[in-house]
Structure 1
Amino acid sequence: MLKCVIIDDEQPARMLIAEYVKKVPFLELVGEFKSPIEAMTQFQKLQIDLIFLDIQMPGLTGLEFARTLNNKPHIILTTAYSEYALESYELDVDDYLMKPISFERFFKAVSKIVQKPNTPGTPTQPVVSDTSLIVKADGQTHRIFTKDILYIEGLKEYVTIHTAEKKIITLESLKKLTEELPADEFLRVHKSFIINQHKVSSHSNHDLTIGAKKIPIGSSYRDDVLKKLF
């Protein structure tokens, strides 16, 4: 989990980034500040892994503030002005986002950070025992019994593990999970889905049903899936 703060003198910009942070399971917002000076009074109290830092601010600019930091956390600069790009790279920041910032571009920037070695929130390889899957999500370690998993749905860099009672979003790939989960229990049926074979109630040549969920069967997986189901 990356603990992050936003430093920007414009409230709409802070609100947008805060909204984006809430959508990403490996980010936790621990502070919002209107200026670097305001932020500095709180930095010792907060454990910060990542700063979303505006460049153009009155008093002390984002670039000037970044130069004052010892043991720098990860920094993603945000600005409406492209002329600062070269100077920002000299500061060895992680990324440079041009306003208005899209969620797709935001997610790409934070994903690059969390995939770096020794970064807080970097996904650890899931551990599979005979009966359970151990994953990290929302700053906690979860044990999910494999018998309770209905299906796993992939979305870019992370997956959603669905059980009858809850869903857990974790930074992982379907490919790794396919290799780690028991082959006699779980089956990749689509580029975006792994299913628990024992939870399938019905199927056709094109989809299958688990509970109230219809899951497509990908054309490249169809022959293997239809041989193994029922």
Structure 2
Amino acid sequence: MATRCLLVDDEPLAVQLLRQHIGQLPFFEVAGSCANAVEALEVLNHQPIDLLFLDIRMPQLSGLELLKSLRRAPPTILTTAHREYALDGFDLDVVDYLLKPVTFDRFFQSVERFLRRSQQPLSNVLTSSEPQVIYLKSGYKYFKLDLRHILYVESMKDYIRVVTTERTIVSKYKLGDLERELQDKGFLRIHRSYVINMAHVTAFTASELELGVHRLPVGDSYKAYVEKTMPRR
């Protein structure tokens, strides 16, 4: 289920920037946006909202006044250009306090704080409702990867290198953890440093596999398993 976000801000450019940031996160969606707190109150009374992005200085009713008026406020991230309201916000137990203009890295930290608080850790790999798709985090972005296009994954100590037919992505992740994510999806561990997509194997021997132009070694402790697992016609 996607995390439904409500954006409350009377500055269109601020709303547009938050929409762009949220659009880079899988499983997050903008449920709506409001130009003032009165409109937001109407939405909150009639729709389920999981995360509220709330400006403080707005006409009619401030963001802080809105929070105080709610019997049960959703988790809230305050957005404002004014530092002086920070203590007031934390007195209301908000998730975080973002200063405008909101950069993506600072926004991302707030989202991770929200997920930790709701006990939903943001993994470097997110599975999708689409059975052949995962999202892999590289830097501050999540990349949508079609499993059918992955050639192989290489371990680089605390990182992995994912080579696909279209691109190469490096992510801070353990190869063993990704191997578990790919279990029963046509992937095979052939070496302590390599997991391959069996669909792309073009030739193999007891000690080496070829995936088109890529030639990868088979580890000694994996040879018997690879020999038994690789399909033959």
TM-score of the aligned structures, taking structure 2 as reference length: 0.64
Query: What percentage of aligned pairs have identical amino acids?
Result: 31
Written as runs of structure 1 = structure 2, the 5 A alignment for 1:80-229 is 80-117=81-118, 136-137=127-128, 141-144=129-132, 153-155=136-138, 160-164=144-148, 176-182=177-183, 185-187=187-189, 195-201=196-202
Gapped regions of structure 2 (runs ≥ 5): 151-163, 165-172, 204-208, 228-233
After TM superposition, give the deviation of residue 57 of structure 1 in Å: 1.1
Cα distance between partner residues in 1 of 2:135 and 2:4? 27
Cα pair distance change 1:223/1:164, threshold 3 Å? closer
Gaps of 5+ in 1: 127-134, 168-172, 203-207
Distance 2:75 2:210 in 1: 44
What SS class does the counterpart of residue 60 from structure 1 fall into? coil
Distance 2:89 2:43 in 1: 24
Structure number with greater CO (CA < 8 Å, separation at least 6) is: 1
Structure number, greater radius of gyration = 2
Is this contact kept in 2: 1:9–1:33, CA < 8 A? yes
Distance 1:78 1:177, change over 3 A: same
Once residues 75 and 96 of structure 1 are traced to their aligned partners in structure 2, the CA distance between those partners, rounded to angstroms, is 9
On the 8 A contact 1:187/1:196 being kept in 2, the answer is no
Aligned to 1:79: 80
Whether the 8 Å CA contact 1:187–1:197 is kept in 2: the answer is no
- CA distance 1:56–1:188, shift in 2 (3 Å): farther
* Cα offset, 1:84, TM superposition: 1.0
Report if aligned partners of 1:178, 1:188 keep a CA contact under 8 Å in 2. no
The letter of the residue matching 1:155 is: S
Counterpart in the other structure of 1:12: 13
Indicate how the Cα distance of structure 1 residues 180 and 40 shifts in structure 2: closer, same or farther if over 3 A, else same.
closer
Change in CA separation of 1:40 and 1:186 when aligned onto 2, cut-off 3 Å: same
Quote the residue 1:50 is aligned against: 51
| 1:18–1:84 distance in 2 versus 1, CA, 3 Å | same
Q: Flag the 1:20–1:194 CA change in 2: closer, same or farther, 3 A.
A: farther
Per-residue CA deviation, residues 89-111 of structure 1 (Å, 9 max, x unaligned), is 11110011111111111122112
Contact 2:187-2:195 within 8 A present in 1 as well: no
Asked whether the 8 Å contact 1:36–1:62 carries over to 2, the reply is: yes
Q: Distance in 2 between matches of 1:5 and 1:36?
A: 11
Q: Secondary structure at the match of 1:178?
A: helix
| Alpha-carbon shift at residue 185 of structure 1 (Å) | 3.2
- 2:138 maps to a residue whose letter is L
